[in-house]
Amino acid sequence: MAKARATKLQDEYLRILGEMSGDAAGREAGDAHLDEAFAKYGNLQWATNPLIFDADQYEMLDNAATTFASIMEKVMARYQRDPYFRKLFALTTKLEHLTRVPSGCHAAVPLARLDLFYDPVTSNFHIAGVTTGGVDGMATSVAAMRAVKTTGAYRAFAAKHADIEEFDPLVACLKAVLNTYASWANAEEGRNHPTNPSFAIVDVAGSPRASETATAVSRLTEMGYYAHATDLSELRIQTVGGLPQLVDNQGPVTCVWLRAKAEEALAVEKGLDALVEATRRGLVCTVGGYRSWPCCVRSFFSVLRSKQCRMLLSEEENAFIEAHVPDTYVLETSLDLSEFYDQENWVLRETDGRDVSGFHVGKTMRKADWRKALVKGIKHHYVVQEYIAQKGMRVAMADAEGLPTVSEQNAMLSLYVFGGKLAGIGATCSASDSDAAKGDLREMACMVVRD
């Protein structure tokens, strides 16, 4: 079978690196650029070669993003109006209450990141997880791309290809936040929704997203908006100029981009209560609020394969789920656990799958330990999910001594889906499933070559 165009491009880039003996000078230039322009990410581990897509692959991923965005909007609309459908998600009462706070915005899921198990040779993929609201990884995607562009290998490759497209998902995200605010500000006549809002990017103390938030504040400021970072605990409602307003320690706030995840925010009761009340009363536009959170929980994939969901979606959307969403079950007493005894084919997720302590790969466990974990999972409603074997690709990097090397790595894609459309692609790579679970990852620049 003939090689796909993208595979040939990957081979070409690695060949250039080989001719340059790994381009150590380019690697040093990329590290220096990160230290200077992206000081917050100066210790970023990055691959020397980018992940390259051809025009057909990009169109396929674009269609995937649009299709899944449509699915999420339909499912969230049903979730809001149907209490019996909501029960399928098995959320706690407190979390369900959060997800039902009216936002006043048109889209239920204005911001999302879809993580994909991806085969760069065949272009096959499965959706590994969904993040909404507090989308992260955008700034490091940009940093990796700019580091790659400082290298001699990239310049040699670009000299042969006139039409190279790169991504800035962080700027695309901020534009989506602005567009969401515009839909809210014009939602009802007679409300005093300013055209030049005060933006607060809200998270919790000690957030791992703090560096990216600082970068986002800088970008919004460059775009001409007043923006600042705020700890959720600072939010409160008080009277300003005779009117109730949401304020933080820097003054009134008109638009909040909420980056904290639900379980993090629930621990900050006072600030969260103020934000919920202000959002409900229309005092503030909250982008990334928890109306979209059900798309992130571990039961979401099982809901997508339920009879109730199949009746809701189009034939094309159901076919997409069958092809690209791993088979998933919430463990409960009615299930026959023997269906999952073939542990080579399953993984167990205790939380959302991002915490290494809550992620168990069946084929790596002793039989007795696996079956014990399944029994425990019934009590705590763990999720058992189809195991997807990741496909390797050759990745150039520096080894522990800083010397150039090429090794087989697994690729994980992130599709940034803003306003229902694909707005950027990021990627990480890791040597194994266990490395990925522990967060031992390298960032890969992503680009589309259309010539």
Handedness of CA 182, 176, 273, 85 (dihedral sign): positive
> In Å, how far are 156, 345, 380 from 339, measured between CA atoms?
53, 10, 19
Q: Does the pLDDT value for residue 1 go beyond 50?
A: no
pLDDT at 353: 37
Mean pLDDT of the chain: 90
- Token pair listed for 203: 């998270």
Q: What is the pLDDT of residues 240-287, one digit of tens each?
A: 888 899 999 999 999 999 999 888 899 998 999 999 999 999 899 999
pLDDT at 358: 66
| Separate counts of helices (H) and strands (E) for the chain | 16, 20
| Three-state DSSP state, 425 | strand
Identify whether the C-beta of residue 426 lies closer than 8 Å to the C-beta of residue 154: no
Name the amino acid, one letter, at 220: L
Output 356 or 98, whichever has higher pLDDT. 98
How is domain 172-292 classified at the architecture level of CATH? 3-Layer(aba) Sandwich (3.40)
pLDDT at 308: 95
Structural element, H or E, at residue 405: strand 404-418
Identify whether the C-beta of residue 133 lies closer than 8 Å to the C-beta of residue 292: yes
Q: Does the pLDDT value for residue 54 go beyond 50?
A: yes
Q: Where are the domains of the chain?
A: 172-292
Q: What is the pLDDT of residues 292-311, one digit of tens each?
A: 999 998 889 999 999 999 99
> How far is it, in rounded angstroms, from Cα 304 to Cα 358?
22
